[in-house]
Amino acid sequence: MRITPNTSLLRAGAIASPHRAATEAGERVLAAGGNALDAAIATNAMLAVVYPHMCGLGGDLFLLYREARTGEVHCLNGTGRAPALATPAAFAQRGLDAVPARGPLSLTVPGTVGAWAAALDRFGSLSLAEILAPATARATDGIEVTARIAAWIEEARDDIAADPALREWFLDAAGAPVAAGTVVRLPDLAATLRRLGDAGAPDLYAGELAQRLGGAVEAAGGLLTAEDLGVYRPDWTAPVAIRHAGLDVLTTPPNSQGVTALLMLRRMRRIAPPGTVAYLDDFVAAKLHAFALRDAHMTDADHMRVTPDELLADAAPVAPAPPAPVCGDTVYACAVDADGNACSLIQSLYYGFGSCFVAGDTGILMHNRAHYFSLRPDAANVLAPGKRTLHTLMACMALEDGRPRYVFGTMGADGQPQVNVQVLHRLLAGAPPADAVAAPRVLHGRFALEDDPDTLHVEADHGPAGPDVVAERHPRVAVVPARSELLGHAHAIAIGADGQITAGADPRSDGTAAVVWR
């Protein structure tokens, strides 16, 4: 895309993401006259290159898009379905009582690229080729490994070592993780991005890329086939919403866990000052109730026995449910433009580095979303061919009199509803976005599956209810460092009644936020 300088100072919008290079990509789109959707997808495409442990072409996404022309908020479900061969019996025949966390058996159809194309076709002002060009150049030139990425490589080094492409990218000749500051070039990924720009998104689902991807999975013993890719379609649907503190709070419907945050907000009608003991007492009680409903009922909307409205009306029973693998790593980005369009986008590979399986020479690191399925026949989220698994992914937006007031979201698996609630309440208490996303937070329960589900994680600088005060009221408290990644990467944009735009990116990430002028 050609960027034409413009010296007139007109506010063009705002963008926030977890990596500086990605925010800059979205910023350039807005400055050149692109809309919020163009900017969000350009940001996501760059994140797919520079934050490869958390997102990429092999993952899924959800987005909310507020169309200024009509005032309507649309939801795009860009999550893939289970392969036709994926049944509990298929895993039992392999001696498995759970879908593996890594490798080719953990794959579902990757929905991201198809969702990008569908969103741009409907609301974008730029082509997919224009959107992908900066990310293609960055993959060719190389990405710099940040200290945070280096830590993730260290944590996943054994799984990374098992895949030839990942090993070449992220481990040195001796098998040690590359150091922060290392420049890693991704030529296979660059070639795939270039091909998608030339041939279009359908190539990944029904063209040469689909055949190469499906063949690589089959050769590795996986269940995903080119035929599974060929039947994929992203779905436009309506968001779910409640009225809270004078705002209409919207989020993504099942198979997203977004309703979980709304359930928490509905329980927290009395909003004590964030950070106080009273707030935390209400927060933990709301979380326990909401998560019990989520685990008992939520899955692919086509397979749910209750509706989101019944969940929100407390008309669905709470029943014990088996624990789900909740470890997840994700990117969230938000964008608004001068015309009042707004985009809230979340995209993920699920675990850090997803399945740790790169599909042949495509450079596509595949997600491991099938791992979230249960193989228990009585579970709501039981595996079935063509079914979409429950996702921890959720994107959020709050409207005031039909206009965007806040656009916000976070990464963080089970932490996502919890962080979104805390960030929204900080915003409602008057904090600007940068302060709302940076403020100390808590996380009740697990981030990874092996974590204690009853521990309350409290950042060391939390207050006025600091760790010592919280420990007097909760049986299990774990103090984590201030601005710990365990508490997610939250980003937010606020639009005032006078049109003033402010934005904030979480200091727990490598991100930045920008208000853009042109």
Q: Where are the domains of the chain?
A: 16-236+329-372
Peptide bond preceding 77: is omega within 30 degrees of 0, i.e. cis? no
216 touches 163 (CB < 8 A):
no
How many Å apart are CA 202 and CA 411, to the nearest integer? 28
CB neighbour burial string for 141-175, b if at least 16 within 10 angstroms, e if fewer: ebbebbebbbebbeebbebbeebebbbebbbeeee
Instruction: Answer yes or no: 140 catalytic.
Output: no
Q: Which of 260, 330, 389, 512 is catalytic?
A: 330
- 3-class secondary-structure state, position 478: strand
| pTM, full prediction | 0.94
For the chain, give percent helix, strand, coil, nearest 5.
35, 20, 40
How many Å apart are CA 408 and CA 491, to the nearest integer? 6
Beta-carbon contacts of 69 under 8 Å, excluding residues fewer than 6 positions away, are none
pLDDT tens per residue across all 518 residues of the chain: 333 333 344 567 999 999 999 999 999 999 999 999 999 999 999 999 999 999 999 999 999 999 999 999 999 999 999 999 999 999 999 999 999 999 999 999 999 999 999 999 999 999 999 999 999 999 999 999 999 999 999 999 999 999 999 999 999 999 999 999 999 999 999 999 999 999 999 999 999 999 999 999 999 999 999 999 999 999 999 999 999 999 999 999 999 999 999 999 999 988 899 999 999 999 999 999 999 999 889 999 999 989 999 999 887 777 655 555 655 568 999 999 999 999 999 999 999 999 999 999 999 999 999 999 999 999 999 999 999 999 999 999 999 999 999 999 999 888 999 999 999 999 999 999 999 999 999 999 876 656 677 899 999 999 888 899 998 888 899 999 999 999 999 999 999 988 899 999 999 999 999 999 87
H/E element, 396 = strand 395-400
How many Å apart are CA 514 and CA 517, to the nearest integer? 9
How many Å apart are CA 17 and CA 173, to the nearest integer? 33
Tokens of 258: 């977004």
Written as one letter, the residue type at 264 is M
Nearest C-alpha neighbor of 31 from the set 48, 44, 12, 50: 12
